[in-house]
Structure 1
Amino acid sequence: MRRLLALVALLAAGACAGLPTSGPIQQVGPDEPRVDAVVRYAPAPPVPGAEPQEVVRGFLDAMLAYPVSTATASAYLTPDAADAWQSSAGVRIYRAPEVGPPSVPAVTVDDGRPVAVEVEVREDAVLDETGHYRGTDRDVTETFVLEPVDGEWRIANPPVGRMVTAAYFASYFRVFDSFFFDARGAQLVADPVHVAVGEQLATGLMASLTAGPPTALAGELRTYLPDPEAWQPSVTVDAEGVAEVEFDVDGSSLDAGIRNRWSAQVVRTLAQVPEVEGVRIITATGPLAVGGGSVQDLGAWLRFDPPEPRGRPGAVVDGRVVRLVDDAAEPVPGPRGDDAGGATVVAVSEDAIAVSAGGDIGVAFAGDPEVVVPAEDVVSLVWDPTGVLWVADRPGGALRIRLVTAEAVRDVQVAPLGTVTSFALDPGARRYAVTTAGESPQVLVGLVQRDQRSGVTGIGPGRVVAPDAAAPAAVVWTGASSLAFLADSSAGRQVFTSRIDGSPAVGGAFGAVPRLPDVGARRLAIDVGSAPSWYVTDDRDRLWHLRAGGSWRLLGLLDVTALGSGR
């Protein structure tokens, strides 16, 4: 309970005055971080003689205190309700509140009778105790019962958890990742959570991390942290940027593998906090020393991260396969650098090439002659971190996934996903994303299924993300838990970004980053790295480039018939 109280108190941080309203889709450009909001807000306590509706309005407002404090909100409750209020049970995000009249007209506090006040809201989403987002998009009526207490109206039945406005959530929350391990303990896997920014961001992230992987991913993710109750629910960051995390557990006899993975989860998660430069993990028997020192560097556990893509995005330009390097095109070595064979689908890794004109695929592994892999209606070609080519095609209209190596081609199981129009793998090949067409076009994300030896056996069912996206296509991964894709907007076909938890996609006509001109965008690729570059082809087969911090620019490359992210 101590851990949950600390967590949801942080999740509810924010302010209400002067906050912008926002719809389900906003433009911020290609996953640009926004500036953390730190405006403080101290809501007013109950006013003597306040009517029932005023008490309810004051309570709703008091839940928007920043920095977080339950004292003012609890002052609007009866003593018993204040003691029993489960404010740590989650966060509900709403808009358009309408406070109705009391159920008993002309009632006075001196009558001694309870009275009910209904509040109608549009609920956008809920966060669970650990900050996991679930969209709801529904109308909700909350009935507050008020009772006389010492001559004043007080609420006897506060809602489970907290209620915050959508504007407050948009201004004071950001999505971060808690890092867990895959089932074999080989690789870190990101799990997105929403945490309020500000002075206690590090504590909020640790509260989410210590809670462990979500139930829905049981068996797929694991944690090496001790029992959640062992964590002392506060993280301090000193003047040198060292975050100190304390656990009430004996750390003296830990197996090195457990100690290292425990450290990796904590360090990788806290590395997202801007002021953190290092991490010290304290146990009941002293610091969790790794490498001879008590302070762990933020880059100490990169070996557990998914492999970084080394290849550049590939394209077919003027009938030749090229690598895209910033705003230039470099022909790949070998025959395909002179003749792409009419390819409309391409995948280029550091040392291998795959092309298709929609049917059979030509694959050239490092130093080997090109081989032909039979295929029908190819959707996407993707290289994974181990150098395996994933072929997504649609024989008979249904998605088929095959894994191609220099030695063999094998099919894997595929869950029903509809009419798939694009397919992509996350950096660690632990998750996949697709876009679909039909009556209800969607962006779906699911898990790559693996056996006990981490061999791929299939792709599991997909879950809808970015439900408001119109005609999505050309999905790519931009990070461990983030996507980009093309979709329709009031400004034409634009690049949208989304987290994989279903929280609102961003993109469209407005935002801090210049939008793509209305050119009929068709394909999308990204060159990830310290300074990502984005590429889009248009309906005239021209290539557009967006450099980090810049604006979209038309490159002097014509007849661009294929485009694919590198590996």
Structure 2
Amino acid sequence: MGADREGGARRRQGRAVAYVACGAVLLAGCASMPDSGDLSGVDSTPRQDTQVRVFAMPPSEDATPTQLVQGFLEALTSDDPNYEIASQYLTEDAATAWRPKTGTTVLADGPDAFELPRARGREDTGETSFALSGTKIATVDEQQSYAPADGVYESLLHLTQDPKTKQWRIDELPQGVVMGQGDFERNYTSVNKYYFASNTAAGGSGQTAAVADPVYVRERVDPMTQMVRSLLKGPTTWLSPVVRTSFPTGTALKKDVTTLTPDENNKLTVPLNDRAARVGQSRCTEMAAQLLFTLRSLTPSMAEVELESGGKQLCSLTEGAEATAARGATEHVEYLYYVDDKHRLVRMAAAEDGARTPEPVPGALGEGNTQLRSAAVSRDEEMAAGVGVDGGELYVGSLVSGGSLGEPVLRSAGKTADDRLTTPSWDARQDLWVADRNPDDPRLLLLEHGAGEPLPVQTPGLDGRIESVRVAADGVRIALVVAKGDKSSLLIGRIERETKPGEDRPTVTVQELRSATPQLEEVTTVSWAGDGRLVVVGREQDRVQTVRYVQVDGSTPEGPAPAALTGVKEIAATEDDRVPLVAYSEDGIVRLQSGAQWQKVAADGTAPVYPG
């Protein structure tokens, strides 16, 4: 529990003592706590410098029940690593039983707390209870995994008074912590830890794909050591069926290691227990790559990781992580593609300083003989798929001069273009995904290597019609825009593949679909924009259209949102944030360069895409 991320620190004046980390300067003085009356909410506190640390105050000897509850809730929002000060507000037995790290409940504002009336004639029994309430917006579980939530939060605190000292303490309370969104954003930061895709290869090259597993850690409580421990414990429950780790089962930090700190050259030495002592060089390199990817998500300047076990060095890794596993954020993108006013697939340099003159792509899709509505380009930029102008046919061809197109690989029987095929998407295995929106036979389909008989993809729990399909670079996560009635939402699913004995083709399933934009009533278009991030165009209820970034877990990433743009119909990004964001809007094809405003690329183009 606790009182009420994009950066800044928060503090409710008078409830905690805050010090600037670099100078131990005492901030505003503490105000006195009320000694009677109900508690209003422990409100979100204003954002301040990220270097400000908040330290809890222990209970005073004469604290009233109201003061005790207020102080306890405030103590939970401090940077106390093990909640030792918060435990001082509890009885000895309650402190022993309490497990604050089992999870965090995030409320829109700090929890409202009020003392429950005592029965007449029992006002002086030495016992009282406080009800906590609020509007729930998210939870972070014991694995540090974030999930959006809604509904009413309600819980009870029971207090007892020591008959000898007359001091009040909490003797019954729920497990975990609760705090308002403001304090959550000050206390926690989202970081990606990395594992390897267990059933896919990136880019069709045979190289393993690195998969981001986002977790929230306490930002000023030794986050580096937290991240290493979290990585060693294994992937979160949602992701675990489709990833693997190279760390042997039971691997942990060496028993006497309490904190990890890089040296002056940004090299981090990680002492492991004996479970890792006998790994071979190849496996150790994979372990180091997982650590280096993870720590660079937290500290981009991390230069080297060295692993030790059994009193000896196992291996070290500097710049070779990308040779061990492919990450979407490190893949090189050559071109931006779109459909021009002649319904051809054209391309132009993706880099901000590249040539802006579009040219038809090599091959049949650039010749204009088959008019296109939308297209997708494979991640190696050697193949492309195009949907015909009426949305009814899907073509696949190579991006090689003189290449032929042939017959459509898929047809839809939908009565209108909007009831036919979506824009396709290529995955890391060079397989092609597309949804048929035909109301009489809605399907999510997979064409292995872009050819052959389409494979129906199972989508248990899907409620609505798929309007858009985007597969992540790691090949194990998929983003679907799903419409139901007059609403549309963004869902993230886990791709599972299983080839049963005696069968030539796999069974492919999208499991555990979960919302990434619960606050949006209408999602127009989406694209992957990082290893664990997407860019979304949508609209909240009764509000104007917005362009925003969201995390794959449904949280809001740190950093500024893209510049405002009106009338956006389609958007394109890559996992590499150095490549400009591109959109199709009422002004045509426009792109957003770093630190600039939207600029027009082509007045008559539509359907912009990057590879994938």
**Could you say whether these structures have the same fold, taking a TM-score greater than 0.5 normalized by the shorter chain as the test?**
yes
| Structure with higher RCO (Cα < 8 A, 6+ apart) | 1
For 1:361 and 1:35, locate their aligned partners in 2 and report how far apart those are by CA, in whole Å: 53
Contact 1:92 1:163 in 2 (8 A): yes
State the TM-score, normalizing by the size of structure 1. Answer: 0.84
Kept in 2: contact 1:234–1:245 (CA 8 A): no
The residue aligned with 1:360 is 393
For residues 425-454 of structure 1, the C-alpha deviation after alignment (integer angstroms, 9 at most, x for no partner) is 100222111101122422111122223699
Partner of 2:521: 470
Partner of 1:412: 456
Query: 1:414 & 1:329 partners in 2: Cα distance?
Result: 42
Secondary structure at the aligned position of 1:288 is classed as strand
Structure 1 match to 2:166: 151
> Residue 369 of structure 1 corresponds to which residue in structure 2?
404
Matched, 1:322 2:346: yes
| Gap change, CA 1:189 and 1:414, over 3 Å in 2 | same
Correspondence list, 1:221-300, <5 A: 221-228=243-250, 230-232=252-254, 233-249=258-274, 251-274=276-299, 275-289=301-315, 295-300=316-321
Q: Give 3-state SS (helix, strand or coil) of 1:458's partner.
A: strand
SS at match of 1:476: strand
Structure 1 residue 397: deviation in Å?
Answer: 4.8
Structure 1 residue matching 2:183: 3-state secondary structure = helix
In structure 1, give the amino acid aligned to 2:302. V
Q: Quick check: 1:458 aligned with 2:508?
A: yes
How far apart, in 2, do the equivalents of 1:138 and 1:277 lie? Answer: 44
Q: What amino acid maps onto 2:576 in structure 1? A: G
Are 1:202 and 2:232 an aligned pair?
no
1:134 equivalent to 2:147? Answer yes
Counterpart for residue 538 of structure 2: 487
| Pick aligned residue for 1:97 from 105, 111, 122 | 111
Confirm or deny: 8 A CA contact 1:181 1:189 kept in the other structure.
yes
TM-score for both structures, normalised by structure 2:
0.79
Deviation at 1:366, TM superposition (A): 4.3
The equivalent residue for 1:401 is: 445
- Specify the alignment match of 1:525 in structure 2: 572
Identity fraction in percent: 24
Amino acid across the alignment from 2:340: V
Does the aligned pair in 1 maintain the 2:248–2:275 contact within 8 Å?
no
Partner in structure 2 of residue 116 of structure 1? 129
- Please name the residue that 1:390 is paired with: 433
Deviation of residue 167 (structure 1)? 0.2
Give the SS at the match of 2:292: helix
Distance 1:288 1:516, change over 3 A: same
Moved more, 221-230 or 92-101: 221-230
1:292 corresponds in structure 2 to none
Q: Secondary structure at the match of 2:68?
A: helix
Cα deviation for residue 105 of structure 1 reads 7.6
Deviation at 1:257, TM superposition (A): 4.2
> Is the 8 Å Cα contact of residues 389 and 403 (structure 1) preserved in structure 2?
yes
SS at match of 2:225: helix
Q: Answer whether contact 1:313 1:348 (CA < 8 A) is retained.
A: no
1:74 to 82, 87, 96: 87
The Cα RMSD (Å) is: 3.2
- Which residue is 1:28 aligned to? none
Per mean C-alpha deviation after superposition, the further-off stretch among 222-231 and 356-365 is 222-231
- Residue in structure 1 matching 2:604, options 548, 555, 559: 559
* Number of aligned positions between the proteins: 531
Uncovered stretches (5+) of structure 2, i.e. residues with no partner: 1-7, 14-41, 201-207, 413-419
Q: Pick closer, same or farther for the CA change 1:263–1:398 going to 2, 3 Å.
A: same
Q: How many angstroms apart in 2 are the aligned matches of 1:184 and 1:460?
A: 14
- Report how far residue 303 of structure 1 moved: 2.8
1:40 is paired with a residue whose SS is strand
Question: How far 1:155 moved relative to its partner?
Answer: 0.8
SS at match of 2:555: coil
Per-residue deviation, 1:102? 4.5
2:525·2:537 contact (CA, 8 Å) conserved in 1?
yes
Residues 514 and 443 (structure 1), Cα distance of their counterparts in 2 relative to 1, 3 Å cut: closer
What pairs with 1:37-76 in structure 2 (closer than 5 Å)?
A: 37-76=50-89
Match of 2:22 in 1: none
Query: In the TM superposition, what is the alpha-carbon distance from 1:234 to its structure 2 partner?
Result: 2.8
